[in-house]
Amino acid sequence: MLATKKLSSSLLYILVIAILLIQIYPVVWLMLSSFKSSIELTTQPFAMPSSWSFENYASVFRESSLLLYIKNTAIVTFACLALIIFLSATAGFALVKMINRLNSKLLLFFTIGIMIPIQVTLIPLFIMYKDYGLLNSYPALILPQVGFALPLSILIFTSFYRYVPGELLEAAVIDGCNIYQVFFRIVSPLTINTTITVASINFIFIWNDFVFSNTFTNDKAYKTIAVGLQEFIGAFGATDWGQTFAAISISIIPIIVTYLFLNKYVMAGVSDGAVKG
Amino acid sequence: MNVLKDKKAWLIFILPALIFYLGTVFVPIIQSLKYSFQQWNGIQEPAYIGFDNYIAMFKDSYFWNSVQNNLVYVVIVVFMQVFIGLFFALMLSYVTKGAGIFRTLYYLPAVVVTVAIAQMFRNFYSLQPLGLLNMFLDWVGLSHLQSAWLSNPHTALIAVSIPEGWRFIGMYMVIFYAALIAIPKEIEEAATIDGVSGWQLIRYIKLPSIMHVLSLSLIMCTTGALRGFDIPYIIGVPGSATELVTTYMYKQAFSTIQYGYGSSIAVFIVIESLLAVLLIRAIFNSRKGDA
C-alpha cells in the first residue's frame, strides 16, 4: 500500500515536471539561443551556448530602434494603468458602496464588455482617429485599451469592496468624513492588494497588445515593442534568428521579471475573475 | 446614511469610467453597425446600400472558408486550453510540495509578447533552416515526416492554432486549480469514507463542484478563439489556408479599404460570439436539469 502510494506520487512528480518542460522549455531555449552565433544556431541548436556572446544584443541596440519601442510601450502602459486604476476604483466604489437604484444594472452593463471582441471597434476608431489627426499618437493606443480593461478591473474591485464592512464607512461618516474622504482616506488604503492585482494583470495585456498598436501606428516614433519586433523578420524569410531572439529576449525580460515578482497578485486576479465573478 | 445616497457624488465617481467605456467600446459598436450598411472606401462619400454588404458576405466563398477555418481553430484552442488546462490543474491539485512554483511557471507563456511566441513557433516549424520540430523528427528517426509545417496548406491551420492554444493553457489551469482547491475538504473526506476514490472522485465529486467555473471558462475560451487574430495574422500564410474571420475582416478594412464590408464582418463576429455564449449556457443549463 505504502509502496504503491510512493510509486504513484513519484509518477505524479515526473508528469508534473514533464508538463513544466513543455510550458517553459520554448522560452528558455529562446533565451539560450540569443547568445549563439548563426552558425552555432544551426549546428548546435540544443546545446548550451559555447560562449556567452553578447554580439546579438549589441547589434540589436546598434541597428534597431528597440529602445525607442520599449520607451513607447512603457509610456502607453503606465498611462493606461494610472487611468484604469483610478477609473475602476472610483466606479467600483460607487457601484458597491453607495446607494443608487441603477447600481446593479450598471454593473451588468460594464460586465458585458468582457465578451465584446475588440476588432469590432477597429474600423470606427481608425476613422475617428484619422479625422482628428490622432493616428500615430499615444492617446490612440491608450484610449481603447483603458476602455476594454475597465470591465474586468471594475469586477475585481467590486468583488473586493464587498468585503469592506459597511460599519467602517458609517463610522467614518459619523466622525464627519464626507464621501470623498471616505473613499480616499478610509477605503483606498485598504485596496492596495487589489490595486496591485488589477495593475499586474493589465500590465501584461497592455504591454503585449498587438492589434491596436498595429492598426493605429505606423510611424516608428510611436510603435510599441509588439509591432516593432516585426522589423526583425526579413521580407522573404531571411531572418537573422540570433538577433531576433536577442530582441525578443530584451522585450520579454521586463514582463517576466514583473510577473515573477508579482505572480501572487496575477494569480489572485485570474482566479478571482472567474471563480468569484 | 445620506452621505452614501448622495446622487451628485455618485455621478462624480461613476461618470469618468462610464464616459471612457461608452466612448471607446459602445459608440464604436454602434458606428460599426452604421458602416455595415454603407459602401465606403474612405475617399468618396459613404453611400447607404442597405443589406448589400451582408448579402455579398453570405455569397463570398472566401468568407465562408474563413468561418470554417475559424471553427477548426476554435476546436483546437478550446481543446488545448480547457481540456489540457483542466488535466494540468487536476494533476497539480494532487501535488503537495511546490505546487505554487509549478503554478507560477506553468503560467509563464501567457505573459510573453504574442509576436515573440509567433516568431518562436515560426522557427520551431521551419524546414529551411531546419527548425526544432523537424530536427526532433530527424533525431527520433522520422525524418520522412519532415515538412514546412507553416507553408504546407494541409498543416498550416493546425500549425497556427497550436501556439495560441499552448500559451493560455497555464491561465486556464490557474483558474481550474483555484476552483479545485476551493472545494470544501469535508466533501472529499465524506466521499472517501463512502469508498469513492481515484477517477470516481474526480468524475462525481470534483468536476460537478467546479461546473460553474468550467462553463464560464468555456465561454471565455470559445469567444476568445472566435476573435482569435494575432498569431494567424503574424505567421499565417498568404492565401486562404490560415485565414480566420478576424484576419479577413482586417484585410478587407485596412488593405482593400472597404470600411463598409469590413464592418459587416465585424458585426458578424459580435453576433457569432453572442450565439456561442447562448449556446454554451443552454448546454450547461440543460445538463443541470438532467442531474
Q: Which helix (H) or strand (E) holds B47?
A: strand B47-48
Percent above pLDDT 90 for chain B: 46
Please tell me which residue of chain B has the smallest CA distance to A113.
B25
Q: Which helix (H) or strand (E) holds B39?
A: strand B38-39
Tell me the residue length of chain A: 277
Average pLDDT over residues B19-40: 93
pLDDT (tens digit, 9 = 90+) per residue, B4-29? 888 899 999 999 999 999 999 999 99
Round the average pLDDT of chain A to a whole number and report it. 86
Say if B9 falls within a structural domain.
Answer: no
Round the average pLDDT of chain B to a whole number and report it. 89
pLDDT (tens digit, 9 = 90+) per residue, A246-265? 888 888 888 888 888 888 88
Inform me whether the pLDDT recorded for B270 exceeds 60: yes
Kindly indicate the confidence band of residue B288, based on its pLDDT and cuts at 50, 70 and 90: low
ipTM, two decimals, is: 0.86
> B291 — contact with chain A (CB < 8 Å)?
no
Question: Which residue among A169, A252, A267 places its CB closest to the CB of B103?
Answer: A267
CB of B108 closer than 8 Å to CB of B168 = no
Do the Cβ atoms of A255 and B108 come within 8 Å? Answer: no
Please tell me which residue of chain B has the smallest CA distance to A92.
B14
* C-alpha closest to that of A90 among A193, A180, A197, A224: A180
* Bridge partners, residue B39, by sequence: B47
* C-alpha closest to that of A73 among A220, A226, A215: A226
Average pLDDT over residues A12-17: 88
Do the Cβ atoms of B226 and A30 come within 8 Å? Answer: no
Inform me whether the pLDDT recorded for A154 exceeds 90: yes
> B235 — contact with chain A (CB < 8 Å)?
no
- Comparing B162 with B98, the larger pLDDT belongs to B162
Say if B26 falls within a structural domain.
Answer: no
Inform me whether the pLDDT recorded for A2 exceeds 70: no
Determine the straight-line distance between the first and last CA of chain B, rounded to whole angstroms. Answer: 46
Angle at CA A81, nearest 5°, toward A76 and A87?
A: 125
Say if B13 falls within a structural domain.
Answer: no
pLDDT (tens digit, 9 = 90+) per residue, A78-96? 999 999 999 999 999 999 9
CB neighbour class for B74 (10 Å; exposed up to 12, middle 13-18, buried from 19): buried
Inform me whether the pLDDT recorded for B237 exceeds 90: no
Kindly indicate the confidence band of residue B289, based on its pLDDT and cuts at 50, 70 and 90: low
* C-alpha closest to that of B127 among B149, B156, B143: B149
> A205 — contact with chain B (CB < 8 Å)?
no
What's the confidence (pLDDT) of residue B156? 93
Question: Which residue among B3, B14, B223 places its CB closest to the CB of A91?
Answer: B14
In B79-182, which ranges are continuous DSSP H helix? Answer: 85-93, 99-106, 114-125, 132-139, 156-167, 169-181
Do the Cβ atoms of A271 and B178 come within 8 Å? Answer: yes
Question: Which residue among A120, A150, A211 places its CB closest to the CB of B17?
Answer: A150
What's the confidence (pLDDT) of residue B199? 83
Say if B112 falls within a structural domain.
Answer: yes
Give the whole-angstrom CA distance, residue B132 versus residue B123.
7
Give the whole-angstrom CA distance, residue B183 versus residue B172.
17
What's the confidence (pLDDT) of residue A276? 52
What's the confidence (pLDDT) of residue A25? 85
Kindly indicate the confidence band of residue A235, based on its pLDDT and cuts at 50, 70 and 90: very low
Please tell me which residue of chain B has the smallest CA distance to A273.
B175
How many CB atoms lie under 10 A from the CB of residue B229? 22
pLDDT (tens digit, 9 = 90+) per residue, A171-211? 998 888 899 999 999 899 999 888 998 998 898 889 888 99
CATH number of the domain residue B243 falls in: 1.10.3720.10
Say if B10 falls within a structural domain.
Answer: no
In the structure, how many helices (H) and strands (E) does chain B have? 18, 2
pLDDT (tens digit, 9 = 90+) per residue, B58-117? 999 999 999 999 999 999 999 999 999 999 999 998 888 888 888 889 989 988 888 888
Q: A 244-273 residues with CB below 8 A of B?
A: 244, 248, 251-252, 255-256, 259-260, 263, 266-267, 270-271, 273
Kindly indicate the confidence band of residue B158, based on its pLDDT and cuts at 50, 70 and 90: very high
What's the confidence (pLDDT) of residue B116? 83
Q: Which helix (H) or strand (E) holds A233?
A: none
Give the whole-angstrom CA distance, residue A270 versus residue B168.
12
The C-alpha of A155 sits at a distance from chain B's nearest C-alpha, in angstroms, of 13
B266: left (phi over 0), alpha (psi -120 to 50) or beta: alpha
Inform me whether the pLDDT recorded for A165 exceeds 80: yes
Percent above pLDDT 70 for chain A: 94
Domain that holds residue B233: 50-290
Kindly indicate the confidence band of residue A144, based on its pLDDT and cuts at 50, 70 and 90: very high
Inform me whether the pLDDT recorded for B291 exceeds 50: no
Give the whole-angstrom CA distance, residue A11 versus residue A30.
29
Average pLDDT over residues B207-230: 90
Q: In sequence order, which residues have a C-beta less than 8 Å from that of residue B93 and are 6 or more positions away?
A: B99, B177, B180, B181
Count structural domains, chain B. Answer: 1
Kindly indicate the confidence band of residue A63, based on its pLDDT and cuts at 50, 70 and 90: confident
> B224 — contact with chain A (CB < 8 Å)?
no
